[in-house]
Structure formats: structure tokens, C-alpha cells
């Protein structure tokens, strides 16, 4: 492959999908990952004409499926240069004493362990080639804790720590490790958190101008196109109306 390859998890929606588009515009070949195959197929048409594109269907919770999909990449797709660990969601918003075990499992298994399973398959190649960039999509929920955010915040605090650990361990190999931590972004995130309740999900983004997936993708694009000696180690991006996870200025 002449072009550098960017592998994006969670490319079927929101931030991941916008990253696929923006990185393709920057000339990257794209590997899009997710569970919804029809969306991964449809993504091809959203990329600039001629973008080399390959997709992998797997659930990040299934470590064998992750390994099998990445092992089965055609040879020309194996030298992944940029990994965007983006797949993830919140499940539920409940006080700790009322939380659902299934929701807790989902958040820890997807946001934390899934990120690790994918990284485990891709980082050794970067180390061998002494080249690569990793962007972990964290969250303001990885920097602060908000009421009822308990386990989601815990999963994103884990992503924050894992990102720092990756940066330490990969430092000798010239591999950049970056955390991009968004505040409120209007994607399918709240629809997933509230289990398909459209009205409740839409309410999260009413009364202010939330970030759009493209705003985050624009920052990802900026991050991966810096010169080799520059790394955006840890960046928070917020809608202007948001000052913290709990302070949001909504219009009357």
C-alpha cells in the first residue's frame, strides 16, 4: 500500500465515521471497524473517490474475533500506521446502587477491554516498524466524575491511564500516543446510553450547541498530521457552552 493506513474502530457512526472521512481526505487508506456490516459497506461511498478502503466486522468484546479479523487482513493492509481506538459507548445513567450489571459489563468490556484487545493486535507491528500513531478517544468523563456517571466515568478514567501507560512504553520506538477527550458530542451516543429512547437522547443536546462528530474528527486530523517531533498528548475539546461535565450553559 502506497498510502499510510489508518484503522478506526467504531467507524459505523458518530466520531469514528467522521474520522474515516477526514483521514481519507488527508490521503490515508482506511480500515473501518464495527459490528454493523451494512454501515461499513456504506461508508465506502462517503470517502473521496479512489480511497483504498477495507472493513472489518467484529465485536471488540470478542477477543478471538478481534484477533481473527486483524490476522486475516490482506498483506497490503497489515502495516497499520494510525490506530484510532474510538469504539465505545455509555450504557445507562443510574446511581451506583441501581446500576445494571449488564450495563457495567458492557462499558468495561467495550470501552476498556475492547480497546486493549485491538491494541494488542496492532501495537507489536508498530513497535517492529518503529512507526505509528495511536489516538485513544477518551472523554471529559475520564477527567472528571459526574453524578450517575460512575462506571462510564470509571471506564474512561481507565482509558486515560492506559493511554499514559502506552505513551511511556512506546516512547522508545517513536510511536505517538494521544488522548482526545471530548465533552458533549451530538452522535448516537445518548441513543445507546438511553437504550433507543429518542426523546431522552435528543434532550441531552437541546438548548445549546453541542460538538458535532466532525469537530472531533477535525482535531484528530490535526493531531495525525503534525510533524514527527510533535505529539498532542492529551487534549480536551468542549462545546463552548460546556465548562465541565456538570456545568452546561443552556439557553432558556
- 245 interface partner picked from ligand 8X3, ligand NDP, none, CB below 5 to 8 A per type: ligand 8X3
Q: Is 152 a catalytic residue?
A: yes
Instruction: Give the range of 7-15, 75-83, 127-135, 138-146 binding ligand 8X3 by CB under 6 A.
Output: 138-146
- The reply to whether 51 sits near ligand NDP by the rule CB under 6 A is no
Quote the cell numbers at residue 30. 482506511
Q: Nearest approach, Cβ of 172 to ligand NDP (angstroms)?
A: 28
Residues 134-164: b if buried by 16+ CB within 10 A, e if exposed: bbbbbbbbbbebeeebbbbbbbbbbbbebbe
Binding-site member from 3, 35, 44, 129 for ligand NDP (CB under 6 A): 35
User: Does 149 contact ligand NDP by CB under 6 A?
Assistant: no
Q: Which helix (H) or strand (E) holds 72?
A: none
- Residue number of the CB closest to ligand NDP reads 14
Tell me the closest approach of the beta carbon of residue 231 to ligand NDP, in angstroms: 20
Distance of CA 164 to the CA centre of its chain: 16
In sequence order, what DSSP letters do the residues of 151-169 get, joined into one string? HHHHHHHHHHHHHHHHHHH
Collect all residues with Cβ–Cβ distance below 8 Å to 32 and sequence separation of at least 6. 8, 11, 12, 16, 17, 20, 40, 43, 53, 54, 55, 56
Q: Does 194 bind ligand NDP (CB under 6 A)?
A: no
Cell of 128: 517492529
* Catalytic, out of 152, 173, 205, 222: 152
- Residues in contact with ligand NDP by the rule CB under 6 A: 9-10, 12-16, 34-36, 59-61, 86-89, 110, 114, 137, 139, 182, 184-185, 187-189, 192, 213
- Residues in contact with ligand 8X3 by the rule CB under 6 A: 139-141, 149, 152, 184, 245
Amino acid at each position: 500500500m502506497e498510502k499510510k493506513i489508518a484503522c478506526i474502530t467504531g467507524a459505523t457512526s458518530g466520531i469514528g465515521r467522521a474520522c474515516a472521512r477526514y483521514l481519507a481526505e488527508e490521503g490515508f487508506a482506511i480500515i473501518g471497524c464495527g459490528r454493523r456490516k451494512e454501515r461499513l459497506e456504506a461508508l465506502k461511498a462517503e470517502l473521496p473517490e479512489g480511497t483504498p478502503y477495507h472493513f472489518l466486522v467484529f465485536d471488540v468484546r470478542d477477543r478471538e474475533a478481534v484477533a481473527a479479523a486483524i490476522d486475516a487482513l490482506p498483506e497490503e493492509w497489515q502495516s497499520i500506521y494510525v490506530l484510532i481506538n474510538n469504539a465505545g459507548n455509555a450504557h445507562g445513567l443510574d446511581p451506583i446502587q441501581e446500576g445494571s450489571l449488564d450495563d457495567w459489563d458492557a462499558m468495561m468490556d467495550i470501552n476498556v477491554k475492547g480497546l486493549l484487545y485491538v491494541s494488542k493486535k496492532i501495537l507489536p507491528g508498530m513497535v517492529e516498524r518503529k512507526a505509528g500513531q495511536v489516538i485513544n478517544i477518551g472523554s471529559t468523563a475520564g477527567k472528571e466524575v459526574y453524578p450517575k456517571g460512575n462506571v462510564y466515568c470509571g471506564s474512561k478514567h481507565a482509558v486515560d491511564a492506559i493511554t499514559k501507560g502506552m505513551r511511556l512504553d512506546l516512547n522508545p520506538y517513536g510511536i505517538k500516543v494521544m488522548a482526545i477527550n471530548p465533552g458533549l458530542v451530538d452522535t448516537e451516543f445518548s441513543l445507546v446510553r438511553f437504550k433507543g429512547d429518542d426523546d431522552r437522547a435528543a434532550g441531552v443536546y437541546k438548548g445549546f450547541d453541542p460538538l458535532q462528530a466532525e469537530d472531533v474528527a477535525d482535531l484528530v486530523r490535526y493531531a495525525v498530521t503534525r510533524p514527527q517531533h510533535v505529539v498532542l498528548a492529551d487534549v480536551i475539546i468542549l462545546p463552548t457552552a460546556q465548562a465541565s461535565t456538570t456545568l452546561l450553559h443552556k439557553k432558556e
